[in-house]
Structure 1
């Protein structure tokens, strides 16, 4: 599997000037969209409250936005049970035409989660979700990363959630693509290993081992923070 780097769990100290603090009814995220019944039930069963907690924008933190990142929103999702699924977060994400960072919180613990959002269409495109480990709700918080504008702040916030280190000069989007390719390879290797265990023919076993070795080498390249010149 993709091995995470050992990074310090991160929670941010959001600027007071950016506080928004507006409760948002859960129904707002599915009453006007094509959300299946099972997902609506997850909203009801898993979420206690949704709060639009902070708005990071030019008029709140004095960082210029662009058409790709006009503002950054921070939503707090208070859980009823143990957790909230990425599917629920995506349903919220798709209805808000700004990048969002989520804090998923219970009475005792909190985690950050976000997926890179692209705003070049009517419906935002959501990439893979990344999350921190659970932390105590009173865990220390760090200042926001230093940034020149909102796009660079968004990039830095997302990078802090990645389960592997980014390579020199690599964007979050490129790192996400690399991780997605690595996870696909992991699934392929697992399927080949399963076939190998039950394959009776020697020639087929040799071919399966060759395919596993080949994919494992590519996987090692994808997960190496310092790639070789061959990639």
Structure 2
């Protein structure tokens, strides 16, 4: 599972967009390309999937495009502790619209979504970003102000990112920066471990140099206001 933002994110979906249609689980795993283990996840982990809201021109008066014709809100009710990203991906691949998920576990809920591109025959789905679990009865924030559905979708996704977005940055750019950040964090952890175990002084000096270089790049990547050098 991906990192969660500290600030809870539950949106107040417009009543005009309410859809409320239960979708049979078999719709997502009945075709032969779904592996047996994933089918078992649907059966064992999911109580119900509800197509809860449809954000579209005819429901919220925001124009769609071929890239984002509509945005769907799916509620996934769990039988147990959670559902995996593999299950969400299977649902995402079946529905040819961007989806924002609310995963519900009893009286707790988390918002989760991945950036989804509709170009080509099959949608391209990025990494999933999620909030922490929070009270389903807790306060909900209004939808972000937007001029059209693509900008609304971008704003909904940006609220889920575990890093703050820079001025003028797109979700795709922020996601790429996050990926670079995580790769650097893994490299730094490996270098720190190597530094602790390296017996030779000259090699320790070289590891320290590499460590400082990567820490400087990491600081630049995580700075919400980047320097002009980037």
Aligned to 1:137: 136
Residue 108 of structure 1 corresponds to 107
The CA deviation string for residues 147-166 of structure 1, in whole angstroms up to 9 with x for no partner, is: 11100110111111111211
Give yes or no for contact 1:178–1:222 (8 Å, CA) kept in 2. Answer: yes
Structure 2 equivalent of residue 63 of structure 1 = 62
Cα offsets for 1:167-197 (capped at 9, x unmatched): 1111111111111110111111112222222
Q: Which residue of 2 aligns with 1:42?
A: 41
Pair 208,38 (structure 1): closer, same or farther in 2 beyond 3 Å = farther
Aligned residues: 229
Distance 1:107 1:4, change over 3 A: closer
Q: Secondary structure at the match of 1:143?
A: coil
Residue aligning to 1:200? 199
Aligned to 2:168: 169
Q: Distance in 2 between matches of 1:214 and 1:126?
A: 33
Cα separation, 1, equivalents of 2:46 and 2:149: 29
Residues 81-230 of structure 1 aligned to structure 2 (within 5 Å): 81-230=80-229
TM-score, normalised to structure 2, is 0.94
Greater shift after overlay, 20-29 or 96-105?
20-29
- Taking a change above 3 Å as real, the CA distance of residues 207 and 34 of structure 1, as seen in their structure-2 partners, is farther
- Provide the secondary structure at the position in 2 that maps to 1:203: helix
Residue in structure 2 matched with residue 30 of structure 1 by the alignment: 29
Q: Is the 8 A contact 1:3 1:164 kept in 2?
A: no
Q: Distance in 2 between matches of 1:58 and 1:22?
A: 19
Taking the aligned partners of 1:6 and 1:89, their CA distance within structure 2 comes to 22
Aligned to 1:94, what secondary structure does the other structure show?
A: helix
Distance 1:201 1:86 in 2: 44
Q: CA RMSD in A?
A: 1.8
CA distance in 2, matches of 1:147, 1:32: 37
* Alpha-carbon shift at residue 28 of structure 1 (Å): 1.4
Q: CA deviation at 1:3?
A: 9.4
* Contact 1:108-1:137 within 8 A present in 2 as well: yes
